[in-house]
Amino acid sequence: MIEKALSGSNRYWAWIIFLLAIMGVGGMFYVQQWNYGLGITGMSRDVSWGVYISQFTFLVGVAAGGLMLVLPYYLHNYKVFGRITILGEFMAIAAVSMCLMFIIADLGQPTRALNVLIHPTPHSMLFWDMIVLNGYLFLNVVGGWGVLHAQYKGLKYATWLKWIVYLSIPWAISIHTVTAFLYCGLPGRHFWLTAILAPRFLASAFAAGPALLLFIALIMKRTTKFDVGQEATSKLVTIIGYAALINFFFVACEMFVAYYSQIPGHMHTLDYLFWGLEGKDNLVPWMRFSVFGGAIGIALLFLARARKTEVGIMVACALIFVSLWIDKGLGLVLGGFVPSPLERVTEYYPSLPEIGITMGIWSAGFLILTILYKVAIEVKLEKEA
């Protein structure tokens, strides 16, 4: 089946080479980081996690977002998603792979990563995160690839594969819940210390994952013969729109609790993110764009569906994806460190090598995604023809 990824148009190969080139640059920067240490990044004593961990957190959401396709198809027999469920599963594979790469990039001693297995520590949420993420990767590789391979062979997939897929559904919830638990169980970090964090993570995941998927599916519609279909597009718009709305509702709940209670610790980070604190405000334009861009994106999404303009839907998906990326991929993780527990405001700017490594990992993820999607749509088109 993998041979489908080994032949393609010039445009396909140009895209692959483009991704490989960025990966190469990222790899060179990683060598630099390997030789110097994490001091090469913009992280500091006060802001001890940066873009690596924030990308990881965001991408766990993208991975969990695949659930929004798998669940309707397998549990509710929603046939319309039959063609694209595999896209959700393969997106989960690419996203979890990126998560694992970001974790490794962030470790001070990456060669000791297996200590997490050698000294299993159930009271650490990172231990559970390791289990659920690798488990989710395994379930999607076996489930997604297995079901597609059966179709490739013109067979009905084995019954046990169905149970793998069923298991992946609650598992998707678990990956983002445990990832939220990394943050929301820490005393002294008021911004994270909120029971709504896991639900909020899930809401943003169910918007961001399908938004990226729909965006890519509509690009593929233009560049290949693969058409996601009117009805599936419409259903995805509903899912993305409502999930994004719920996410922003949760953000509003956080705002209310902080500013109505007037408890300083609850207000500080929100002050920093949206208005600036002690003259430090490097995330303010981003966070404001996240709110306004997200709101415009949701409105445009429903409007574009009513008008049946695909370009409108694509722009809306991109806006929502970027908005949620800022919300969780920047604000949530970085904001938790500002102010510090000693109420000092230290700002963080990622360094050039750090951005290079981050882009390299994103490219590696998109390479995995491209190869898997290439295989998937070729098999689908071949069997449907």
Phi then psi for residue 280, to 5 deg, are: -100, 125
Smallest gap from residue 36 Cβ to another protein (A): 6
Q: Which is nearer to another protein, 67 or 105 (CB)?
A: 105
67: amino acid identity, one letter: L
Q: Rule CB under 8 A: say whether 279 interacts with another protein.
A: no
**Binders of another protein among 166-205, rule CB under 8 A?**
182-183, 185-189
CA distances to 149, 252, 258, 269, 324 from 255, rounded to whole Å, are 48, 5, 5, 11, 17
Q: What is the DSSP letter of 109?
A: S
Among 4, 16, 32, 44, binds another protein (CB under 8 A): 44
C-alpha–C-alpha distance, residues 23 and 33, integer Å: 15
What's the gap between Cα 340 and its chain centre?
26
Judged by CB under 8 A, which stretch of 38-46, 199-207, 273-281, 362-370 contacts another protein? 38-46
280 forms bridges with which residues in the sheet? 277
Among 3, 6, 17, 37, binds another protein (CB under 8 A): 37
Only one residue has tokens 């902080």, namely 258
Q: Which is nearer to another protein, 53 or 220 (CB)?
A: 53
Among 11, 14, 79, 124, binds another protein (CB under 8 A): 124
Smallest gap from residue 190 Cβ to another protein (A): 10
Q: Rule CB under 8 A: say whether 275 interacts with another protein.
A: no
Q: Which is nearer to another protein, 56 or 373 (CB)?
A: 56
C-alpha–C-alpha distance, residues 94 and 91, integer Å: 5
Q: Which is nearer to another protein, 241 or 329 (CB)?
A: 329
Smallest gap from residue 248 Cβ to another protein (A): 26
C-alpha–C-alpha distance, residues 307 and 316, integer Å: 13
How many residues make contact with another protein (CB under 8 A)? 44
Judged by CB under 8 A, which stretch of 133-141, 230-238, 341-349, 360-368 contacts another protein? 341-349
Q: Rule CB under 8 A: say whether 261 interacts with another protein.
A: no
Smallest gap from residue 346 Cβ to another protein (A): 8
C-alpha–C-alpha distance, residues 245 and 253, integer Å: 12
Judged by CB under 8 A, which stretch of 63-71, 76-84, 218-226, 343-351 contacts another protein? 343-351
List of residues 6+ apart from 282 with CB closer than 8 A: 347, 349
Judged by CB under 8 A, which stretch of 82-90, 116-124, 167-175, 200-208 contacts another protein? 116-124
Among 3, 10, 76, 108, binds another protein (CB under 8 A): 108
Q: Rule CB under 8 A: say whether 342 interacts with another protein.
A: yes
CB-based contact 214:236 (threshold 8 Å): yes
Among 15, 78, 127, 138, binds another protein (CB under 8 A): 127
Among 76, 77, 119, 385, binds another protein (CB under 8 A): 119
Q: What is the DSSP letter of 156?
A: P
CB-based contact 53:333 (threshold 8 Å): yes
**CA end-to-end span of the chain:** 17
Helix ranges restricted to H, the chain: 10-36, 51-65, 67-70, 85-106, 115-118, 125-152, 159-184, 197-223, 230-261, 264-274, 284-307, 310-326, 333-335, 352-384
Smallest gap from residue 254 Cβ to another protein (A): 19
What's the gap between Cα 223 and its chain centre?
24
What's the gap between Cα 170 and its chain centre?
17
Q: Rule CB under 8 A: say whether 345 interacts with another protein.
A: no
Phi then psi for residue 278, to 5 deg, are: 50, 40
Q: Rule CB under 8 A: say whether 222 interacts with another protein.
A: no
Closest CA relative to residue 70, chosen from 164, 7, 185: 164
Q: Rule CB under 8 A: say whether 282 interacts with another protein.
A: no
Among 275, 344, 382, 384, binds another protein (CB under 8 A): 344
CB-based contact 269:338 (threshold 8 Å): yes
Would you tell me which residues interact with another protein (CB under 8 A)?
36-39, 43-46, 48-49, 103, 106-110, 112-113, 115-116, 118-119, 121, 123-127, 130, 182-183, 185-189, 336-337, 340-344, 346
